[in-house]
Amino acid sequence: MSSIDPTTTTIETEADSASAPPDVRHGVLRRTFRAKRAWIGAIALALITLWAFVGPLLAPYNATDSDVLAFGAAPGGGHWFGTNDIGQDVYAQTLVGLQKSIIIGLIAGPLATLIAGFVGAIAGYFGGVADRVIVWVIDLLLVIPSFFILVLVSPIFKQLSWVALVVLISVFSWMIMARVVRGQTMSLRERDFVKAARYMGVKPLTIIRRHIIPNVASLLIIDATLGVGAAIIFESTLSYFGFGIQVPDVSLGSLLASYSNAAVTRPWLFALPAATLIATVLATSLLGDAFRDAIDPTSGANRD
């Protein structure tokens, strides 16, 4: 008959019961969608995404077609956003650019959050040399203007696909959240359930995955949501100045750059892609803001 160590059993029970925070996901979602701006942001973002990917299928022209009978035409008829100087449909171009901007935002934002969560948890949990090195790298990247670094390295990546741009945006977008996660991890590693897991011989990376990350998941969700809009703005800015999406690809930023000279004489060429960009970023910001207030109600009390 095997004996049972009551001390080990107690520690195992404590660790199991506290290995993850209470399941607050449903509560967070419920509080999030009590705010009107959450519904506005979610519905707007869903409609914009649907429009971006279904709209081209319903449009009478594609982004590369040239209508020889409608050079520089105003919105109307079959060209809902008008045409450019060579008769290309601006509506179709806007939707193609919107697709690329949404895809880049949806990949780069969460990827930057993933990097921040992993790096911040490693620094906060291990401390010592690892923490000092990571903090030094974070401080260095925060001091160096990321936009100018991307401008300098962009010629190297011009021949590569837009995936390289996604990686670059992610690499320069994780530092602030990594500092937040590091601070939370330094507090969590002293909690009883983390100590219990450590005494039981659980590997550090397993502790980070099972105990640390779930306890900072709410912060990471907020960062990922807001990061989508930030990544879209970042990509659009780079593309506007010619350092982002390259021909034959198109994004909202490159469209704005192409049509900026016509902003006064033919304002629809510039204004309609710009309005699309603003609406997309605003929708993601509203949703992320509602998530933040649901998790930290004191951050935006009585705003709705």
pLDDT of residue 144: 82
pLDDT of residue 15: 42
Mean pLDDT to the nearest integer, 258-273: 89
pTM: 0.82
Question: Is residue 116 situated within a structural domain?
Answer: yes
Place 145 in a pLDDT band, splitting at 50, 70 and 90: confident
pLDDT of residue 158: 66
Question: Is residue 161 situated within a structural domain?
Answer: yes
Question: Is residue 71 situated within a structural domain?
Answer: yes
Residue whose C-alpha is closest to residue 148's, from 240, 233, 243: 243
**191: pLDDT strictly greater than 70:** yes
Question: Is residue 12 situated within a structural domain?
Answer: no
pLDDT of residue 66: 79
Q: Are 130 and 122 in contact (CB under 8 A)?
A: yes
Q: How many residues in total does the chain contain?
A: 304
Q: What are phi and psi of 76, to 5 degrees?
A: 145, 165
Total structural domains within the chain:
1
Mean pLDDT to the nearest integer, 72-89: 82
Task: Kindly state the percentage of the chain with pLDDT values over 90.
Answer: 40
Question: Is residue 11 situated within a structural domain?
Answer: no
pLDDT of residue 299: 55
**28: pLDDT strictly greater than 70:** no
Question: Is residue 17 situated within a structural domain?
Answer: no
Place 296 in a pLDDT band, splitting at 50, 70 and 90: low
Question: Is residue 98 situated within a structural domain?
Answer: yes
Mean pLDDT to the nearest integer, 254-277: 90
Question: Is residue 3 situated within a structural domain?
Answer: no
What residue numbers bound the domain in which 114 lies?
A: 45-299
Token pair 């911040």 is found at 120
CATH number of the structural domain spanning residue 292: 1.10.3720.10
pLDDT of residue 27: 65
